[in-house]
Structure 1
Amino acid sequence: MSSGFLDLVNGTPYDWVVASTAHHHINSWTPQFKPDEEFLTIPKKGGTARIYLEWDDAPAGSHKGEAEIRMRGPEYTFFLHAKSTGGQKHIWVEFRNFSVQGYDESDEDTLRIDWVEELDIAFILSGDNPSNFFPTNGPVSWMHASLPSIGNRPLKRICMPGSHSSGMCEQTGAGTAFADDDNCCTQWQNIHGQLVAGARYLDIQPCIKMSEDGESYKFMCGRFDNTGSHALMGWQGMSGLYIQDVIDQINQFLYTEDNEELVILNLSRGCNVEDGYRDFTDYEWYRLFDMLIDPKTGLQYIWTGPKGFKGDPAEIKSLWSYTLNDFIGKGTKGAAVVIISESCSIAPESSYAMKGIFNKSQCDIYQSPTDSDSYTKVEQDQLEKMYNHGLFSSDDQLFALSWTCSPPDMDETGDMNSILRVHGDKMNKEIYSSVVPKVNQLVFPNILLVDCIGGFDPKNRSNGKPFDASAKLEGYYSFQGRNLASLAMAINWLNTWDDGMARDYEATEIQARWDLLASRLKDLDRKENNYNSDSTIRLTQHYMSWAAETMSIRNELAQIQNEWSVHYLTRV
């Protein structure tokens, strides 16, 4: 007997209602599509259902399941099918009276979803009519396909998948005494595979380390931490992909394969491994920048400003205020953006200021991982941070939902459950049912930051798919495919609608009060800073009223924060 989960995510403005069901040798099929003798309804705009399936030990070809699902209102109908053939199990979706967009299938009316035992698969459908319905495993260039619906939005209003420690998909050279690919690698796919799987935000932690041939120092991706007083003393970690490989694979995706997408390359935690694990100097950062902007071997589509922009990129106050069309619309090709999440900054007079590398002050991101390997704690902590960010954050700051676990302790047997990538993939299966129901116009993640984007085959730790330039793109990712991209597309629809379930009037009123008071407080602080400190008499005349109003506003803001906690955090 084998089993697993099928997650259904409704990213449409219509309730999904199960109309009929049948099954044979799939024990839990009908009881879950028709619980308590009432057909299941999956609510519109973020409703989810998690279906647990048990395939019994009947011979291959005996297992069959079918569920007819209708969208209430337009009565668009699709069927979920399950079947076993030749020892393999399959789930597929048949679209009866409408079409969907953006996937490559020989039969335009069906969509296959690969089944993986003991893990989750997902069927996600988003959009509001057949011209923009996109399903699970949609287009590789999912951003470009979404331009009609989100092209005019600033990036701060868009959700995208991101990969955590993106360059840590393989080990290059020797690691430290207690580090290996089991406890340091976070991704099964290389950079190209992550981009094909939908990642548009790459988390790169550069390091300087001796090359594998032992002849020169090279820029690589790294994962090094000072364990301090923990059981493993001192610095531990290892290096992953060479930075040049990262550049080449981004170029392959954007330039060679002509995917008109936006790729954000975030550089953080520069570490010189060969010099006592110290932070990068400015000179070392500049050497790395030289690699990225080299006209021959660097990023081919590096973005220096919107089309027609004549100023200095250093003058850009917030990268996130530009629309997706500014990056990849209006007849442009793909775009690679480099941002620095470090103390290193590029001065306006620097030669790098005009080359498309942006300072943290221009592209701030809130990213606060949960220090736990517990799925429950990560979910609770990250959703709470998402809610707080929705009200209290600056408009110029993106929110990264860090759906990642701390490395678990390796047990004595080296069980696969203690391997970081396996652990991360199990974390990923919770994201579909946990995040979507909590999303609305005010509260949503800008970046879905995960380990193991694209997934892995639990029976094959190496993922079993060597790089083959002649193979189809679908050969570079495993069973999860572009599910996370499909989830981001659904979230981008969910934060569009302002009626019904997606419209939270109480939250809107709370935020309006907060914004008004926060704006007034900024004005008061600015006014106080403009006082002439040498004019003691003037300062005395104004100070008491300024202090009284400031204290009153801060008290009101504290009350609003309490209201917000009651309104939202109790729902997490």
Structure 2
Amino acid sequence: MRIFHSLAFVASFAGLLVNAQDACKPQDRTFSTEQTPAGNYQPSAVFMNPASGLASSKFYITVVNLTPHRIKLDNTHSYQMDTFDFGDVPQGRSRQNTVKYRNRIATQDDAGEAYYSIDGTDKKFALRLKGTGPTVDQRSVTLDLSGMNLGQRVYKFPGGESSVSLVITGSAKYGFYASIRHDRGGWMRWIYNTIKDRPIRHLFLPGTHDSGMSKITNKITSIGNSFNTQNQGINIYDQLRAGSRWFDLRIGSVHDNDNSARNLGFHTLHVNDETASLCIGNSGESLDEIISEINLFTRENPGEIVFFSLRYLIGRYEFPDRGPIYWNDQLWSDFLSKIRGVNNRCPNLDTSVPFQNQPASYFMDRNDGRGCVIFLLNGQNLRDVPKEAVGDGLYAQNRIGIKDHWSNMQNADALVPDQINNFKNLNRGGDGDFSQVHISQWLSTPDALASTAYGLQAFAIQQVNPTLYWAGVAGMSPESWPNVLMVDYIGVQQRDQTSWNTLSAEMYWLGIGMNLYVISENCNVNKWRSPLIKARELELAGGEEWNGIIYPNGTMVDHPPPELHPGHASVLRNGTIFLNGTVLETTVPNPWM
């Protein structure tokens, strides 16, 4: 008996030692406080002047480092570039690098390459710039991560003085990942061991604004069109695959002009005021389409938490000039019958605990590990019907504490600092922990004239979304970040290029990297050592290795020849300038070839 008790004590003591060794320690922190140079916004004059934008010669390449390793600039060389400014990227930070092509009307052969290494590892990558002519569409950048076995991606710039971004996360022990392309859809399940014990308010979730407006369906007759009313380029299924876990859905019933009792179906709507006598806007995806897309995603990717914030919940005539139709029992019943078709809903959750205070595992483990699709209802327009249906998995919005910040500004140089100032002082963890879910609406609100003239898509992909990676990341830290970051046109990098292989994956990997690296460095939030400084566990393991090439039109080469590196200069010409200022006087073979 004494021997038994002794062995039990030894085993218990050994377990305590393992736990102590695995505990998060402030001295393990790698997140850098070093500041990188301030970035630049796309000038409004360039954005709003098509001729000026087309002829722009200045562009930016942002590198985001969500790893515990410094990203070091080893060397650069450039030929016929007026500016070629690149630099190191400290841990947890980002750097907007600047390139200015030499503007000439004649055919151009401007080129430049920046070579990086991941400090403390044998991993390397290169950024290659090429210009073949004087217009934006003749200038491109190749993100070459073949030296990390992560592939290559060729991008054209979305507009004059605009930016292309690269997000790198992971570590030498864990494995590296980058935004060359999307990986599997169910990212929350992959990092389950990291996030399972964190309450929802200690997560970072990509989100989409006016999520159902990925197309214009004209179910109401108004002046809303794809320029001023469409907010997304891909449907709910693809938004889920692109990483979004928080959705802004505005659902309305559309009614026969001559018979208000005749409901023509439930659709997403985007209008100026859903309760106005005359409302302006249009319709997007139908509720039936959205339900089908949700079910397809959750069937393929079990174990995720997906929040749908439902607004409007009101009826409008086909010609919306006679005010709203408030839902009666029949419309509410019809709506509920639709929602019951969503798989992996989570009825009868414990409403005595605010949802933001429940650990992620509480939701991810529901439905036998298939996760949770949670509907949160903004019931301000629900007058004579219930404002939630807990037994069906529909909950009043106030079941989760939310601080939702919308800047309501058109220009990025105003809305970006406004958003950052609103979340950068949030205290995460400890006695003063921020106790709500903070939603950052990282999106432009152009006036009717500007949105119709230039398009919400152009504002998103040229002016606003790129700032997220050089400005937004700079405003975040392990102690302060937004829980939900909502954007327009998630994944869209070039106007109207919405096929899957043309989409960019920065938001997807930003979501993973923030949870995996930045938040894990806060010992008041994360009680265990950061997964990136431990040996790799089962998370993210087993993914398909890929070291191919994706071209701007979406063409993918899975197994390119080893010598194929788009944009790579085989020779360095007379006049090539190196990082240290050396200028070549004779043409020589490229030693980095």
TM score, norm. by length of structure 1: 0.69
Q: 1:110 is matched by which residue type in structure 2?
A: G
Question: Please, which of 116, 132, 142 is the counterpart of residue 91 of structure 1?
Answer: 142
Show the counterpart of 1:20: 75
Tell whether 2:441 aligns with 1:402: yes
Q: 1:150 to 1:221 in 2, by over 3 A?
A: same
User: 1:436–1:491: 8 Å Cα contact kept in structure 2?
Assistant: no
Show the counterpart of 1:206: 251
User: How far apart are residue 267 of structure 1 and its match?
Assistant: 0.6
Question: SS state of the match for residue 78, structure 1?
Answer: strand
Instruction: Work out the CA distance in 2 between the residues paired with 1:360 and 1:129.
Output: 42
Tell whether 2:300 aligns with 1:253: no
User: How far apart are residue 410 of structure 1 and its match?
Assistant: 1.9
1:160-199 correspondence to structure 2 within 5 Å: 160-173=205-218, 175-199=220-244
Q: 1:27 to 1:258 in 2, by over 3 A?
A: same
Show the counterpart of 2:267: 220
Tell whether 2:362 aligns with 1:326: yes
User: How far apart are residue 130 of structure 1 and its match?
Assistant: 4.5
User: How far apart are residue 286 of structure 1 and its match?
Assistant: 4.5
User: How far apart are residue 124 of structure 1 and its match?
Assistant: 0.8
Question: SS state of the match for residue 361, structure 2?
Answer: helix
User: 1:313–1:353: 8 Å Cα contact kept in structure 2?
Assistant: yes
Question: Please, which of 479, 484, 509 is the counterpart of residue 447 of structure 1?
Answer: 484
CA deviation vs aligned residue, 1:397-442 (integer Å, no higher than 9, x gap): 2111111122333269x632xx222222221111111111121232
User: How far apart are residue 82 of structure 1 and its match?
Assistant: 4.0
CA deviation vs aligned residue, 1:277-324 (integer Å, no higher than 9, x gap): 25545764443232111xxxx1122234xxxxxxx4254522223333
Q: 1:268 to 1:455 in 2, by over 3 A?
A: same
Tell whether 2:410 aligns with 1:373: yes
Q: 1:47 to 1:116 in 2, by over 3 A?
A: closer
Show the counterpart of 2:520: 496
Percent of counterpart pairs with the same letter? 18
User: 1:404–1:427: 8 Å Cα contact kept in structure 2?
Assistant: yes
User: How far apart are residue 448 of structure 1 and its match?
Assistant: 0.9
User: How far apart are residue 359 of structure 1 and its match?
Assistant: 2.2
Please list every run of 5 or more consecutive structure 1 residues that lacks an aligned counterpart in the other structure. Answer: 34-39, 100-107, 305-311, 466-474, 503-572
Q: 2:473 is matched by which residue type in structure 1?
A: V
Q: 1:122 to 1:411 in 2, by over 3 A?
A: closer
Show the counterpart of 1:4: 59
Instruction: Work out the CA distance in 2 between the residues paired with 1:464 and 1:43.
Output: 33
Tell whether 2:95 aligns with 1:48: yes
Instruction: Work out the CA distance in 1 between the residues paired with 2:59 and 2:486.
Output: 24
Tell whether 2:500 aligns with 1:476: yes
CA deviation vs aligned residue, 1:181-233 (integer Å, no higher than 9, x gap): 32111111121222222211111011111389x974211111122399xxx99
CA deviation vs aligned residue, 1:101-124 (integer Å, no higher than 9, x gap): xxxxxxx35332533342322111
User: 1:9–1:433: 8 Å Cα contact kept in structure 2?
Assistant: yes
CA deviation vs aligned residue, 1:314-357 (integer Å, no higher than 9, x gap): 545222233333333697235322122334899xx999323322
Instruction: Work out the CA distance in 2 between the residues paired with 1:200 and 1:393.
Output: 27
Q: 1:122 to 1:150 in 2, by over 3 A?
A: same
Question: SS state of the match for residue 203, structure 1?
Answer: strand
Show the counterpart of 1:32: 85
Comparing 485-494 with 17-26, greater Cα deviation is found at: 17-26
Show the counterpart of 1:485: 508
1:354-373 correspondence to structure 2 within 5 Å: 354-373=391-410
Question: Please, which of 424, 432, 437 is the counterpart of residue 460 of structure 2?
Answer: 424
Q: 1:408 is matched by which residue type in structure 2?
A: D
TM score, norm. by length of structure 2: 0.67
Show the counterpart of 1:301: 344
Instruction: Work out the CA distance in 1 between the residues paired with 2:190 and 2:100.
Output: 33
Instruction: Work out the CA distance in 1 between the residues paired with 2:436 and 2:344.
Output: 24
User: How far apart are residue 63 of structure 1 and its match?
Assistant: 5.4
Instruction: Work out the CA distance in 1 between the residues paired with 2:111 and 2:141.
Output: 10
User: 2:216–2:282: 8 Å Cα contact kept in structure 1?
Assistant: yes
CA deviation vs aligned residue, 1:242-265 (integer Å, no higher than 9, x gap): 11111111112221x346533211
Which is helix-richer, 1 or 2?
Answer: 1
Aligned structure 1 segments of 4 or more residues deviating by more than 6 angstroms? 55-61, 84-88, 391-394
Show the counterpart of 1:122: 165
Question: SS state of the match for residue 409, structure 2?
Answer: coil
Q: 1:351 to 1:152 in 2, by over 3 A?
A: closer
CA deviation vs aligned residue, 1:361-405 (integer Å, no higher than 9, x gap): 322322121122121221122122213554799755211111112
Show the counterpart of 1:415: 453
Q: 1:126 is matched by which residue type in structure 2?
A: T
User: 1:345–1:360: 8 Å Cα contact kept in structure 2?
Assistant: no
Question: Please, which of 116, 119, 122 is the counterpart of residue 69 of structure 1?
Answer: 116
Show the counterpart of 2:560: none
Show the counterpart of 2:281: 237
Instruction: Work out the CA distance in 1 between the residues paired with 2:184 and 2:448.
Output: 36
User: How far apart are residue 239 of structure 1 and its match?
Assistant: 1.6
Q: CA RMSD in A?
A: 3.7
Show the counterpart of 2:128: 81
User: 2:355–2:400: 8 Å Cα contact kept in structure 1?
Assistant: yes
Question: SS state of the match for residue 491, structure 1?
Answer: helix
Please list every run of 5 or more consecutive structure 2 residues that lacks an aligned counterpart in the other structure. Answer: 1-54, 527-593
Show the counterpart of 1:273: 316
Q: 1:437 to 1:291 in 2, by over 3 A?
A: same
User: How far apart are residue 70 of structure 1 and its match?
Assistant: 2.5
User: 2:388–2:396: 8 Å Cα contact kept in structure 1?
Assistant: no
Q: 1:424 to 1:483 in 2, by over 3 A?
A: same
Q: 1:260 to 1:211 in 2, by over 3 A?
A: farther
Instruction: Work out the CA distance in 2 between the residues paired with 1:4 and 1:248.
Output: 40
Instruction: Work out the CA distance in 2 between the residues paired with 1:143 and 1:280.
Output: 36
Q: 1:336 to 1:59 in 2, by over 3 A?
A: farther
CA deviation vs aligned residue, 1:67-89 (integer Å, no higher than 9, x gap): 22223344643333345799784
User: How far apart are residue 91 of structure 1 and its match?
Assistant: 0.8
Instruction: Work out the CA distance in 1 between the residues paired with 2:497 and 2:256.
Output: 26
Show the counterpart of 2:553: none
Tell whether 2:406 aligns with 1:383: no
Q: 1:138 to 1:56 in 2, by over 3 A?
A: farther
Q: 2:194 is matched by which residue type in structure 1?
A: S
Tell whether 2:500 aligns with 1:438: no
Aligned residues: 448
Instruction: Work out the CA distance in 2 between the residues paired with 1:211 and 1:222.
Output: 16
